[in-house]
Amino acid sequence: MTPEELATTVDGLMDGLRADLVRLAEIPSIAFPGFPDGPVQEAHDLVAELLRDAGVPHVERLDLPDTAPVVYGEIPPPDPGAPTVLLYGHYDVQPPGDEKLWRSPPFEPTPIEGDGGGLRARGIADDKSNVIAHIGMLRAYGGRPPVGVKIVIEGQEEYGSVFDGYPPTDPDRFACDAMVIADLGNLRPGTPTLTTGLRGAAEVVVEVRTLDEPRHSGEFGGAAPDALLVLLKALATLHDVHGDVAVEGLRREEWAGTSYTEEEFRSLAGVREGMPLIGSGGLGERLWSGPAITVIGLDAPGVEHAASAVVPYARAKLNLRFHPRQDPVEARGRLVDHLRSLRPFGVPLTVTPGDTGPGYEAETGGPAYRAALTALKEAWGKEAAYVATGGSIPLVNGLAQAAPGAEVLLFGAQDSMCNLHAPNERVLLSELRDTVVAMGAFVREYAAAARGGDGSRA
């Protein structure tokens, strides 16, 4: 299929793909505790139906303990010289949060104006647009792409599940030459983007108990050890005067790829006028190739009901993001050791390590990457940018372990301005269309590159 034929074919499919995206986004498939299971099952069934209708001959349901069902599908390679590509996405979504902050009901997909048009709904970008993009590529080839295909659409990515660690236990099922992890997207609309790194993540809880119970601040303050002051003094050591992480041993490197402009980042983060950004160096270094420590929870008396008393107990939960190539246990250990070494005002801290997960850094020199660069340029008309992300996709490491020789490509129909996990999440139909074209061009280019002049694998 020539580039012109592919573009024309995808344009002819867009009305149907839009309609199916609306159907899928109408389902509140939230796989979090406390939410009904029925919509999750409904979304699973719809994805399986759409794959069958797209020509996938083998579609099955993969059930694991305490986990929403995974949709698994296979299309055999068209000939022995064709490579196999694994396509990944997820059909579950984040909870909508405070629905009063939405401009329209979160599970009623609503058209938006500007930027070529789009749709607003919870999960419509993350990750249902990418599920539909996979289906669009299969439809463009009539269910017979020039590569073998394995399809993995899971249903509990947002909350996390045992499926993250499952692929290495069943490597034959996930064996492939390349995989397209479509749970990401472009740096900005219209800028084709390959994500090459994912920061790792860890959590640590630090707590202080200094008194049996609160004591009058007038009678005891000034000598009685204040647990909240102790904790705040400890937390203040985690960053230097510039706002850079001050914990020794956490890896930081200069970022050589593309990044946001400061204006873009300020807008995306909602930084208030007059507020400085923290840290030094480029934004890519601060966000992707260096560490970040965030206080994500604090247990202390609330201001509204505060008593005039010395605080006996305080606790904080910390979230650490670290370099994609740093060992997760080592990174968490560096933070734990730093906190345990402190004695603010002579008071020891109780430090409890929490969960940790590895980052990921892709190799970018193989034939799948070269095919992807060609495909992205074909779809968007410009050279692709390289970025990383501070977020994590735990399953990527499991899939990479199951297929250690496979190239891992991360791209999709989202963009950094789509409000994923936030109110008024949206996807642009132009980005969806170009993603379908890019996926179609990728399998064409990859299949051609994988064959030598005699039709054998290169």
| Whether residue 122 sits in one domain with residue 29 | yes
Residue of 264, 201, 234, 151 whose CA lies nearest to 391: 201
pLDDT band of 455, cuts 50, 70, 90: very low
Residues 281-338 have pLDDT tens digits of 999 999 999 999 999 999 999 999 999 999 999 999 999 999 999 999 999 999 999 9
Tokens of 195: 């994500």
Catalytic positions are 92, 157
- Residue 452: pLDDT band by 50, 70, 90 thresholds? low
Looking at residue 115, what is its pLDDT? 65
Same domain, yes or no: 231 and 194: no
Q: Quick one: 401 and 294 in the same domain?
A: no
Identify whether residues 302 and 179 lie together within a single domain.
no
Confidence (pLDDT) at 454: 37
> In the predicted model, what is the mean pLDDT of the chain?
95
Kindly provide the b/e burial profile for residues 211-245, where b requires at least 16 CB atoms within 10 angstroms of the residue's own CB: beebbeeeeeeeebbbbbbbbbebbeebbeeeebb
Please report, for the domain that includes residue 128, its CATH number.
3.40.630.10
Q: Are 154 and 236 contained in the same domain?
A: no
| Residues 333 and 435 reside in one and the same domain | no
111 lies in the same domain as 129: yes
The structure's pTM equals 0.90
Both 415 and 303 in one domain: the answer is no
pLDDT in tens, 374-420: 999 999 999 999 999 877 787 898 999 999 999 999 999 999 999 99
Residue 74 structural domain:
3-198+359-449
In a domain, 259, yes or no: no
User: Taking 50 as the threshold, does the pLDDT of residue 125 lie above it?
Assistant: yes
Q: What is the pLDDT of residue 390?
A: 78
- My answer on whether 182 and 122 are in the same domain is yes
Residue 77 has pLDDT above 80, yes or no: yes
| pLDDT single digits (tens) 180-219 | 999 999 999 999 999 999 999 999 999 999 999 999 999 9
pLDDT for 25: 98
What's the rounded Cα separation, in Å, for the pair 210 and 126?
45
- Give the pLDDT of residue 389: 87
